[in-house]
Amino acid sequence: MVQEVLINNDDYYVPDANQLVTEDDTPVDNFASEKQQRLLVGSLYSSLQSQTFLAAANVGVYHTDGQPAIVPDVFLSFDVQMPENWWEKQNRCYMVWRFGKPPEVVLEIVSNKEGDELGKKLKIYEHMRASYYIVYDPNQQLGEKVLRVYELRGTRYFETSEIWLEQVGLGVTLWEGKFEDRQDTWLRWCYQDGTVLLTGDERASQSEQRASQSEQRASQAEQRAKILAERLRAMGVDPDTL
């Protein structure tokens, strides 16, 4: 339990960050979950460069004084920025009272039945008032549904069949493909038309493909010009005079 030590800050009280556990250095994730987390966080930073947000994996979120942090597999919070000195104790994790708001989206990846994603964690995120809570259950540990999306309406979460998160202008979708040489089904962010947010590698690959296609078109145009010039010369016409 977090020790309740408060400090005065501009006429209101906030918990003393020095008394909070901001990290415990305990490795808990498996390869699949770690890679899935990296895909979700990385594609946000490579695709939403014009927006202000903070996304992270396995970073603690302190939401209520006197309660321990909860650690979503991934969270997304808009209109907040990473503190300049992220090594300072009060900047090492997401403290709702410092950022002024909870994350809009919290996401859990189910790897076993011990996490209580549909029970205790759901209640904590509901109390924290995260706009959306997403539970990705790739091995169907919790039932038949692979993907569950909960939307905060008033003070309660309601499960929805909508995968478009209207309040944040993003959606989630299951995508078959290869990420970092691993062919699998992945959970990905998407736009409203279903197009997925690209990773940095995917963007680089697309740029290379476009450059290659442009070179091919230029080469084909050059070849056609040569053929035309030869035909003109065969007809006694100097193409250089045209």
pTM above 0.85, yes or no: no
As a whole number of angstroms, the distance between CA 65 and CA 140 comes to 34
Burial group, residue 148, by CB count within 10 angstroms (0-12, 13-18, 19+):
buried
Q: Which of 120-134, 137-151, 195-209 has the lowest mean pLDDT?
A: 195-209
Secondary structure, 3-state, 35-56: HHHHHHHHHHHHHCCCCCEEEE
Which comes out higher in pLDDT, residue 229 or 213?
A: 229
Please tell me the predicted confidence (pLDDT) of residue 22: 55
- Virtual torsion, Cα 107, 112, 116, 117, nearest 10 deg: 20
Band (133; pLDDT cuts 50, 70, 90): very high
As a whole number of angstroms, the distance between CA 144 and CA 146 comes to 6
Please tell me the predicted confidence (pLDDT) of residue 240: 77
- Work out the average pLDDT over 51-74: 94
Please tell me the predicted confidence (pLDDT) of residue 209: 65
Which comes out higher in pLDDT, residue 10 or 6?
A: 10
Please tell me the predicted confidence (pLDDT) of residue 147: 98
